[in-house]
Amino acid sequence: MKRTQDLMELVHDGAAGSADIPRIVLVVDDHHDTLELYDTVLSDRGYWVARATNGLDALECAQDLQPDAIVTDVGLCGDMDGTDLIRELCADEKLCNVPVLLVTGRNPRDLPSLAGLPISGLLLKPVAAETLVTRVEHILQPPAPPPSSANTGAPAHAEGISSTVPVAARATKTRKIDKRQRVCPGCRERLTWTETRQWRGGDYDYYRSCTNGCGMWCFNRDTQEFELLIPS
């Protein structure tokens, strides 16, 4: 906690110029050893790491520090889990654009729907040090301008999918398609169906990861939309 307090003092110190402050990554986990690991790995790469062990502290820390990126576990102690934290961040106009990596030790199929949550990726525990650094570096890169199909004549869906997971990708004309015939919203390659399960009263068809690297998808039968479980 002292590191976080020191960072806050530097951020709020009027004498400290922006050039004196490295990029800030807020890591949120209720497991001390995990926080130590994330702190060590990211600090070694030049980031300044702030820590929080629950959603409420993480939100207050984010409001104070305005971090460049956030890495948070899904399951957190207290009344605010990782998904609740992201919703609170989205509601704050100063934090709504901060990229967030979501981490979980659970099977992605057992997670609640992530549709509508603007996360920049989902990592499965245990997270390898190099994977964590690579993904943080990736989400901190300036977003590429959207490709234009004006000169190619290609449909928008053929240009690929976003590297974030904000949207439930809409499955056009899929209401009457058999679950074994659905295609990836990103590349239109046939997906391999694995099972149909219920989650919070909704029916979902689960598929293996796209063979072209678009990620792992499930299909919400109620909304008739694809939802990205794990990005590529």
State pLDDT tens for residues 93-113: 999 999 999 998 887 777 766
Tell me, what's the pLDDT at 34? 92
Q: Are residues 87 and 135 in the same domain?
A: yes
Same domain, 24 and 126: yes
Q: Are residues 107 and 17 in the same domain?
A: yes
Is residue 147 included in any domain, yes or no?
Answer: no
- What's the DSSP call for residue 3? H
Greatest mean pLDDT among 11-20, 173-182, 222-231 lies in 222-231
pTM of the model as a whole: 0.59
Last residue of a domain, one of 139, 157, 183: 139
Specify if 159 maps to a domain.
no
Asked if the structure places residue 160 within a domain, the reply is: no
pLDDT at 153 over 60: no
Q: Which helix (H) or strand (E) holds 49?
A: strand 48-52
Locate 110 and state its tokens: 């057992």
Q: Report yes or no: 55 and 103 within 8 Å, Cβ to Cβ.
A: no
For residues 129 and 185, state if they share a domain. no
Query: Do both 96 and 175 map to the same domain?
Result: no
Residue 78 in any domain: the answer is yes
CATH of the domain at 86: 3.40.50.2300
Determine how many CB atoms are found less than 10 A away from the CB of residue 223.
Answer: 14
b/e 63-75 (16+ beta carbons within 10 angstroms → b): eebebbbbbbbbe
Q: Is residue 201 part of a domain?
A: yes
Do residue 26 and residue 118 come from a single domain? yes
Classify burial at 217, counting beta carbons within 10 Å of its beta carbon; exposed 0-12, middle 13-18, buried 19 or more.
buried
pLDDT for 168 equals: 43
- One-letter amino acid for residue 168 of the chain: A
Report the DSSP beta bridge partners of residue 218: 206, 227
Helix 32-44 × helix 129-139 angle, to 10°: 60
What's the CA gap between 215 and 230, in Å, rounded? 5
Q: Which domain holds residue 192?
A: 168-231
Domain boundary among 139, 154, 182: 139
The 3-class secondary structure across 144-161, one letter per residue, is CCCCCCCCCCCCHHHHCC
**pLDDT score recorded for residue 203:** 81
Residue 146 inside a domain? The answer is: no
CA 168 from centroid of its chain's CA atoms: 14
Tally of domains within the chain: 2
Say whether both 68 and 179 belong to one domain. no
Q: Is residue 114 part of a domain?
A: yes
Residue 41 and residue 114 share a domain: yes
Residue 198 lies in a domain: yes
